[in-house]
Amino acid sequence: MDALEIFRIVAAEFKDMPDEDITDGETGEIITRGVRSFLDLYADQISRNRFGKSYEKALAYLTAHKLKMNGYGKNSFSGNIGDSLRVSSYSEGETSISFSTGQSTNLQVDAEYALTVYGLEFLTLRRNAIIPIISAGEGPPHGSPYY
Protein backbone atom coordinates (compact mmCIF):
# COMPACT_ATOMS: atom_id res chain seq x y z
CA MET A 1 0.00 0.00 0.00
CA ASP A 2 1.23 3.51 -0.70
CA ALA A 3 0.98 6.45 1.71
CA LEU A 4 -2.17 7.83 0.09
CA GLU A 5 -4.04 4.52 0.49
CA ILE A 6 -2.96 4.27 4.13
CA PHE A 7 -3.89 7.92 4.70
CA ARG A 8 -7.41 7.23 3.40
CA ILE A 9 -7.80 4.28 5.78
CA VAL A 10 -6.46 5.90 8.97
CA ALA A 11 -7.57 9.51 8.48
CA ALA A 12 -11.23 9.30 7.45
CA GLU A 13 -11.91 12.80 8.77
CA PHE A 14 -10.12 14.17 5.68
CA LYS A 15 -12.45 12.37 3.25
CA ASP A 16 -13.58 15.70 1.75
CA MET A 17 -10.03 16.52 0.64
CA PRO A 18 -9.33 15.38 -2.93
CA ASP A 19 -6.45 13.01 -3.67
CA GLU A 20 -5.03 15.30 -6.37
CA ASP A 21 -4.90 19.09 -6.69
CA ILE A 22 -7.99 20.70 -8.23
CA THR A 23 -7.12 23.33 -10.81
CA ASP A 24 -9.11 26.03 -12.56
CA GLY A 25 -9.83 24.86 -16.11
CA GLU A 26 -9.27 28.28 -17.60
CA THR A 27 -6.26 29.61 -15.71
CA GLY A 28 -4.62 26.37 -14.61
CA GLU A 29 -4.32 27.83 -11.11
CA ILE A 30 -4.56 25.42 -8.18
CA ILE A 31 -7.87 25.98 -6.40
CA THR A 32 -7.60 23.22 -3.80
CA ARG A 33 -4.56 21.24 -2.77
CA GLY A 34 -4.99 17.49 -2.72
CA VAL A 35 -3.66 15.02 -0.16
CA ARG A 36 -0.89 13.91 -2.52
CA SER A 37 0.57 17.46 -2.49
CA PHE A 38 0.75 17.36 1.30
CA LEU A 39 2.31 13.88 1.25
CA ASP A 40 4.96 15.25 -1.12
CA LEU A 41 5.46 18.30 1.10
CA TYR A 42 6.23 16.27 4.22
CA ALA A 43 8.04 13.33 2.58
CA ASP A 44 11.47 14.85 3.13
CA GLN A 45 10.94 15.09 6.88
CA ILE A 46 11.40 11.36 7.42
CA SER A 47 13.86 8.81 6.04
CA ARG A 48 12.76 5.92 3.86
CA ASN A 49 15.94 4.09 4.92
CA ARG A 50 15.31 4.54 8.64
CA PHE A 51 11.61 3.66 8.57
CA GLY A 52 12.01 0.78 6.12
CA LYS A 53 8.74 -1.12 5.63
CA SER A 54 6.89 1.38 7.82
CA TYR A 55 7.86 4.43 5.72
CA GLU A 56 4.56 4.75 3.83
CA LYS A 57 2.57 4.35 7.06
CA ALA A 58 4.76 6.85 8.90
CA LEU A 59 4.37 9.37 6.06
CA ALA A 60 0.58 8.94 6.11
CA TYR A 61 0.40 9.52 9.88
CA LEU A 62 2.83 12.45 9.79
CA THR A 63 0.83 14.10 7.00
CA ALA A 64 -2.48 13.57 8.83
CA HIS A 65 -0.92 15.09 11.96
CA LYS A 66 0.38 18.14 10.08
CA LEU A 67 -2.97 18.66 8.34
CA LYS A 68 -4.84 18.42 11.64
CA MET A 69 -2.46 20.90 13.28
CA ASN A 70 -3.04 23.31 10.39
CA GLY A 71 -6.81 23.29 10.79
CA TYR A 72 -7.83 20.74 8.17
CA GLY A 73 -10.20 17.89 8.98
CA LYS A 74 -13.12 17.87 11.36
CA ASN A 75 -12.80 20.22 14.33
CA SER A 76 -15.28 20.64 17.14
CA PHE A 77 -14.12 24.23 17.68
CA SER A 78 -13.17 27.20 15.60
CA GLY A 79 -9.51 27.75 14.72
CA ASN A 80 -6.95 25.02 14.48
CA ILE A 81 -5.99 22.47 17.10
CA GLY A 82 -2.60 24.05 17.72
CA ASP A 83 -4.15 27.41 18.58
CA SER A 84 -6.76 25.95 20.90
CA LEU A 85 -4.34 23.81 22.88
CA ARG A 86 -2.06 26.77 23.56
CA VAL A 87 -4.84 28.80 25.20
CA SER A 88 -4.24 28.63 28.94
CA SER A 89 -7.22 30.75 30.08
CA TYR A 90 -9.95 33.02 28.84
CA SER A 91 -12.69 35.18 30.31
CA GLU A 92 -15.76 36.65 28.72
CA GLY A 93 -16.36 40.00 30.44
CA GLU A 94 -14.16 42.54 28.64
CA THR A 95 -12.62 39.60 26.76
CA SER A 96 -9.29 38.32 28.01
CA ILE A 97 -7.39 35.39 26.51
CA SER A 98 -4.07 34.05 27.87
CA PHE A 99 -1.80 31.76 25.93
CA SER A 100 0.73 29.40 27.48
CA THR A 101 4.25 30.06 26.28
CA GLY A 102 6.26 28.35 29.00
CA GLN A 103 9.88 27.51 28.24
CA SER A 104 9.38 23.97 29.52
CA THR A 105 7.33 23.12 26.44
CA ASN A 106 10.22 24.20 24.20
CA LEU A 107 12.40 21.55 25.80
CA GLN A 108 10.07 18.76 24.78
CA VAL A 109 11.06 18.21 21.16
CA ASP A 110 8.21 15.85 20.37
CA ALA A 111 5.48 17.59 22.38
CA GLU A 112 3.67 18.73 19.21
CA TYR A 113 3.09 15.12 18.15
CA ALA A 114 1.20 14.39 21.37
CA LEU A 115 -1.51 16.85 20.31
CA THR A 116 -3.14 14.49 17.77
CA VAL A 117 -3.81 10.77 17.57
CA TYR A 118 -1.94 10.80 14.25
CA GLY A 119 1.12 12.33 15.87
CA LEU A 120 1.09 9.75 18.65
CA GLU A 121 0.95 6.92 16.11
CA PHE A 122 3.79 8.54 14.16
CA LEU A 123 5.88 8.61 17.36
CA THR A 124 5.15 4.93 17.94
CA LEU A 125 6.26 4.06 14.40
CA ARG A 126 9.37 6.19 14.80
CA ARG A 127 10.19 4.60 18.15
CA ASN A 128 9.87 1.14 16.61
CA ALA A 129 11.97 2.02 13.57
CA ILE A 130 14.65 4.21 15.09
CA ILE A 131 16.12 2.88 18.28
CA PRO A 132 18.19 5.51 20.10
CA ILE A 133 21.67 4.56 21.20
CA ILE A 134 21.96 4.82 24.95
CA SER A 135 25.31 4.53 26.66
CA ALA A 136 25.00 2.93 30.05
CA GLY A 137 28.71 3.40 30.69
CA GLU A 138 29.37 -0.29 30.25
CA GLY A 139 32.43 -1.58 28.48
CA PRO A 140 32.66 -4.76 26.42
CA PRO A 141 32.55 -8.14 28.15
CA HIS A 142 35.67 -9.23 30.02
CA GLY A 143 38.20 -10.76 27.67
CA SER A 144 36.66 -9.21 24.54
CA PRO A 145 39.22 -8.27 21.85
CA TYR A 146 37.21 -5.07 21.19
CA TYR A 147 38.13 -3.40 24.46
Is 137 a domain residue?
Answer: no
pLDDT number for residue 131: 74
Q: Is the pLDDT of residue 99 over 80?
A: no
Q: Residue 122, Cα to own-chain centre: how many angstroms?
A: 7
| Crossing angle of helices 55-69 and 35-42, rounded to 10° | 110
Secondary structure of residue 40 in the 3-state scheme: helix
**What type of residue is 17?**
M
Q: Report if residue 124 sits inside a domain.
A: yes
Residue 142 within a domain: no
Which pLDDT tens digit goes with each residue over 15-65? 999 999 999 999 999 999 999 999 999 999 999 999 999 999 999 999 999
In angstroms, rounded to a whole number, what is the distance separating the alpha carbons of residues 99 and 84?
Answer: 9
Q: Which domain holds residue 17?
A: 3-74+81-129
Query: Are the C-beta atoms of residues 34 and 18 closer than 8 Å to each other?
Result: yes
* Any domain includes 35: yes
145 within domain boundaries: no
Q: How far, in Å, CA of 76 to CA of 98, rounded?
A: 21
* Count of the separate structural domains present in the chain: 1
In a domain, 57, yes or no: yes
| Whole-angstrom distance, CA of residue 119 vs CA of residue 109 | 13
